[in-house]
Chain A
Amino acid sequence: MLVMRGIVKQFPGVRALDGVDLDVRAGEVHCLLGQNGAGKSTLIKVLAGAHRPDEGTIELNGVPAAPAGPVDAIRLGIATIYQELDLVDGLTVADNIFLGHEHARLGFTDRRAANRAAGEVLTRLGHPEIRPSTEVGRLPPAAKQIVSMARALSREARLIVMDEPSAALAHDEVANLFRIIRDLTARGVAVVYISHRMEEIREIGDRVTVLKDGRTIAVGLPARDTPTSEIVSLMTGRDVEYVFPPRAARPPGEEVLRVEDLSSPGAFAGVSFSVRAGEIVGLAGLVGSGRSEILEAVYGARRATGQVLVGGRPVRRAGLLRSVRRDGPLRALRRGGVVESVRLGMGLAPEERKAQALLLDQSVTANITLGGLSGFARLGWLDRARERAEATRLAEALDIRPRDPERPVKTLSGGNQQKAVLARWLLGGRRLLLLDEPTRGVDVGARAELYTVIRRLAEDGIGVLLVSSEVPEVLGLADRVLVLREGTVIHQGDARDLDEHRVLDMIMNGRAA
């Protein structure tokens, strides 16, 4: 039904898709597998018409069909259900389902007809209890997923792409999702299903296509019979030259961070670990496994229960410390504790560098000194000469290029921007650095440099907590690794005892192998 051949999509500096083939039959569930960055998201965006491929052909039922835009894709019968649900919270269920193809006459919407039609679709999906006139913002995530699905159905889609549809669902809701999918395929609708959970792929999938480095590695494997080990080895062993600096020779020092029984509803539960001075601890897991959320909670930027101790002392969160349970030592760490965290010597390099860390219009200097401004000020008066001198020293120490601290930070490459964020936290004696995806959007050469910088920071006695989607990066850089799956730590141990294959196995099968 759908045949894609040799799809190439080039972004500035990266070849996201480098010759992808995909072959989907009517009435089948076709699973798409691949590590983070393998090109899955780009591929479904091409299908949804959000990206136009640079090369390659797409055929739908034997007719050349390259969606020129989202509207065109819908016209062709391709519907996409994104991981981040794209529903309008302020509109009703019916409005959302028919958004863009409303029941209307001369521009006046026919609410009754829309509600009736929405009710029919929802009943078909086995959810007659979702009222078409409810505001979508009031629905729980699972119901939103159903609404999203109803939207795809209402457009008479012949091909539905689902990007990790089960991520937001509880167990029995997944069962219902599968029932709906089987119902769809029985009617001849094709489903492209993206998931990292092997057991789901085994249960619902018909065939599997594996992507690696923007290329199709295996096409049409039988989903039920192909051994997991075979699939995992197809996904791993990417042809990447990672150069990691050697690990520290001397043993790590005293404990700088201790996390006890940290929990945040819906994100992670019962997480305990510690980080010592001079040690790099890595968190491995999928997007949504709770990695970033743990960092945020440690930093005081997210509500959580449990204890966070820095340098052996419990962190008080800006006077909002409250006992949750009277009998236990549980404490509520509230948002707004960041100021206290920074005072205690923590620093965070967040995941979204541009959105969360940088003042893009401002100079490199201003960006570096943002976290420690008061160190250059007396009674609020900035000593700009000293500020510039210190920023220049750090820029040189981390080799930020070009060597012009007055240059707006947005003119720097990704790697150098990341160095500027790291430099920010080298001011004023940090004890603990939290790094979330430090090499995202950074090219290979700059990666190696960043690795060296991070390792050197650890050698200077800083504790580092590292989060990365790339398993080889965590294994190569960290001393100790925590493997996360669905919000719980399923393995904790020395990085040298693990390999990519084993970690992926744990992440996908949920086994502490």
Chain B
Amino acid sequence: MAEAGRTVAEAPATTAAPRSFELRHLGLFVALALLVGVGLLTRPAAFATADNLVSILSLAATIGVITVGATFVIIGGGIDLSVGAVMALASVWATTVATQEFGPVVMAICAILVGTGAGLVNGLLVAYGRLVPFIATLAMLVAARGLAQRMSDRRTQLVRTDNQAIVDLATTRVLGVPLLVYVFALVVVLGWILLNRTTFGRRTYAVGGNPEAARLAGIDVRRHTMLLYALSGLCCGIAAILIMARTTTGSSTHGDLYELDAIAAVIIGGTLLTGGRGTIVGSILGLLIFTIITNLFILNGLNTSDQLIAKGLIIVVAVLLQRRNLKERTP
């Protein structure tokens, strides 16, 4: 290259203005609207009720919180397979007899610390131990699940009645909506701010998009990577509080295959698995699409196996559509 002596034309001036928020997520909104339409047509009486809407949101809340953390990790170029298991471990740890002695606040703090701690271990292994994220978090998945079984003797641990405040998150309603939905909303808003308005968010895109450039620009890529996994763990801890509230239990079986739902939601939402690109809003829309499908299948009394098939198809279609989109944008 760099053949001197000849003039080179300016790079073609593309008209690619930065896509506005609405346009970027248009496809997801259309899909969502279609699903709502299907709901209204098939089960007009049951679908469009406030109760059903609240149940969709409650259902989405737990995985939703995890999805926010997963979005950060994936934009940062990693993957976290351990989210479901870490959430289960946090829920078990917070509902042990010893922890429950100290009341609901300590239980919540315990869940958050356990989640963050597990995430930190993931982060240390990936960033400083140079383990492939897939392997490090797979190991954490297996180990956390095992530890949860050990702590609980494979028994479901009930939240004691004197710690009812935890369960109140699911039962107390403000303006007809349970508190845990507000927690979910708060996590989404905080996550959005962190990703779009802070140096941390900007560096996350840089680390995922071009780690070498980030390193040479003076960003501590390893520390940042570690923090991303810790953040994902923190979200698992919060999700553990929500699952305790909804089920009134802590159990080693909580959150089975949540990692797949979370990753699927992030992918449908347009985040690249290779990192560097993606949005929180997209992930949440992806999650809502998934949750509404589940809801529609239940309302229509359809087979849950068919539901899984439908979800699988949606992942493939979503990714194919995005790839076409991507090609249009990058000449």
User: A-side interface residues toward B, CB under 8 Å?
Assistant: 11, 13-16, 37, 39, 213-214, 238-242, 299, 301, 336, 338-339, 341-343, 348, 350, 355-363, 366, 370-371, 373-374, 376-377, 380-382, 384, 401-402, 406-408, 410-414, 416, 424, 439-445, 447, 470
Q: How far is the CA of A371 from the CA of B203 in the complex (A)?
A: 10
Q: Is the CB of B198 within 8 A of A381?
A: yes
Q: Is the CB of B16 within 8 A of A355?
A: no
Q: How far is the CA of A401 from the CA of B2 in the complex (A)?
A: 20
**Contacting A363 at CB < 8 Å: which of B18, B203, B212?**
B18
Question: Which residues of chain B (191-218) have a CB below 8 Å from chain A?
Answer: 197-200, 202-203, 205-206, 209-210, 212-218
A-contacting 9-mer, from B5-13, B230-238, B284-292: B5-13
Q: How far is the CA of A355 from the CA of B215 in the complex (A)?
A: 12
Say whether, besides A338-B215, A363-B18, A408-B16, A37 and B205 are in contact (CB < 8 Å).
no
**Contacting B203 at CB < 8 Å: which of A213, A373, A416, A442?**
A373
In the complex, what residues of B have CB within 8 A of residue A360's CB?
Answer: 209-210
- Look across to chain B and name the residue whose beta carbon is closest to the beta carbon of A376: B199
Query: Shortest 5 CB-CB distances between A and B: which pairs?
Result: A342-B218, A443-B8, A13-B8, A413-B11, A240-B4
Q: Is the CB of B1 within 8 A of A361?
A: no
Q: Is the CB of B205 within 8 A of A362?
A: yes
**Contacting A14 at CB < 8 Å: which of B3, B17, B198, B215?**
B3
Q: Is the CB of B213 within 8 A of A37?
A: no
18 pairs across A/B with beta carbons < 8 Å?
A14-B1, A14-B6, A238-B4, A240-B4, A241-B5, A301-B216, A338-B218, A355-B212, A359-B213, A359-B276, A366-B202, A370-B214, A377-B198, A380-B199, A402-B13, A408-B16, A412-B11, A413-B11
Say whether, besides A342-B217, A350-B216, A358-B213, A239 and B3 are in contact (CB < 8 Å).
no
In the complex, what residues of B have CB within 8 A of residue A16's CB?
Answer: 1, 3
- Look across to chain A and name the residue whose beta carbon is closest to the beta carbon of B330: A410
Residues of B within 8 A of A (CB-CB), count: 39
In the complex, what residues of B have CB within 8 A of residue A441's CB?
Answer: 1-2
Asked if B277 is at the interface (CB within 8 A of a chain A CB), the reply is: yes
Q: How far is the CA of A361 from the CA of B199 in the complex (A)?
A: 17
Q: How far is the CA of A388 from the CA of B54 in the complex (A)?
A: 41
In the complex, what residues of B have CB within 8 A of residue A359's CB?
Answer: 205-206, 209-210, 213, 276
In the complex, what residues of A have CB within 8 A of residue B215's CB?
Answer: 301, 338
Q: Is the CB of B216 within 8 A of A356?
A: yes
Q: How far is the CA of A407 from the CA of B219 in the complex (A)?
A: 23
**Contacting A373 at CB < 8 Å: which of B1, B2, B11, B202?**
B202
Q: Is the CB of B218 within 8 A of A240?
A: no
Question: Which residues of chain B (1-58) have a CB below 8 Å from chain A?
Answer: 1-11, 13-14, 16-18
Q: How far is the CA of A341 from the CA of B215 in the complex (A)?
A: 11
Q: How far is the CA of A401 from the CA of B13 in the complex (A)?
A: 10
Q: How far is the CA of A444 from the CA of B13 in the complex (A)?
A: 19
Classify the secondary structure of B's interface with A.
loop
Q: Is the CB of B6 within 8 A of A381?
A: no
Asked if B220 is at the interface (CB within 8 A of a chain A CB), the reply is: yes
In the complex, what residues of B have CB within 8 A of residue A11's CB?
Answer: 1
In the complex, what residues of A have CB within 8 A of residue B203's CB?
Answer: 373
Q: Is the CB of A374 within 8 A of B205?
A: no
Closest beta carbon of chain A to B121's beta carbon, Å: 21
Given contacts A16-B3, A358-B210, 6 further A-B contacts (CB under 8 A): A238-B5, A239-B5, A339-B219, A362-B209, A373-B202, A408-B18
- Look across to chain A and name the residue whose beta carbon is closest to the beta carbon of B214: A370
In the complex, what residues of A have CB within 8 A of residue B16's CB?
Answer: 407-408, 411
In the complex, what residues of A have CB within 8 A of residue B216's CB?
Answer: 299, 301, 338, 348, 350, 356-357
In the complex, what residues of A have CB within 8 A of residue B7's CB?
Answer: 443-445
**Contacting B199 at CB < 8 Å: which of A382, A440, A443?**
A382
Q: How far is the CA of A389 from the CA of B203 in the complex (A)?
A: 20
Closest beta carbon of chain B to A75's beta carbon, Å: 29
- Look across to chain A and name the residue whose beta carbon is closest to the beta carbon of B200: A380
Q: How far is the CA of A474 from the CA of B194 in the complex (A)?
A: 45
In the complex, what residues of A have CB within 8 A of residue B9's CB?
Answer: 13
Q: Is the CB of A406 within 8 A of B210?
A: no
Q: How far is the CA of A358 from the CA of B214 in the complex (A)?
A: 9
In the complex, what residues of B have CB within 8 A of residue A336's CB?
Answer: 222
Q: How far is the CA of A411 from the CA of B219 in the complex (A)?
A: 25
Q: How far is the CA of A410 from the CA of B215 in the complex (A)?
A: 20
Q: Is the CB of A371 within 8 A of B218?
A: yes
Q: How far is the CA of A37 from the CA of B213 in the complex (A)?
A: 25
Closest beta carbon of chain A to B149's beta carbon, Å: 37
In the complex, what residues of B have CB within 8 A of residue A362's CB?
Answer: 205-206, 209
Most buried by A among B9, B11, B205, B215: B11
**Contacting A355 at CB < 8 Å: which of B14, B210, B277?**
B210
Say whether, besides A301-B215, A343-B218, A355-B210, A442 and B2 are in contact (CB < 8 Å).
yes
Q: Is the CB of A377 within 8 A of B1?
A: no
Q: How far is the CA of A363 from the CA of B212 in the complex (A)?
A: 18
Q: How far is the CA of A402 from the CA of B10 in the complex (A)?
A: 10
Q: How far is the CA of A14 from the CA of B198 in the complex (A)?
A: 41
Closest beta carbon of chain B to A192's beta carbon, Å: 21
Closest beta carbon of chain A to B6's beta carbon, Å: 6
Say whether, besides A37-B4, A213-B5, A442-B2, A339 and B218 are in contact (CB < 8 Å).
yes
In the complex, what residues of A have CB within 8 A of residue B330's CB?
Answer: 410
In the complex, what residues of A have CB within 8 A of residue B17's CB?
Answer: 406-407
In the complex, what residues of B have CB within 8 A of residue A376's CB?
Answer: 199
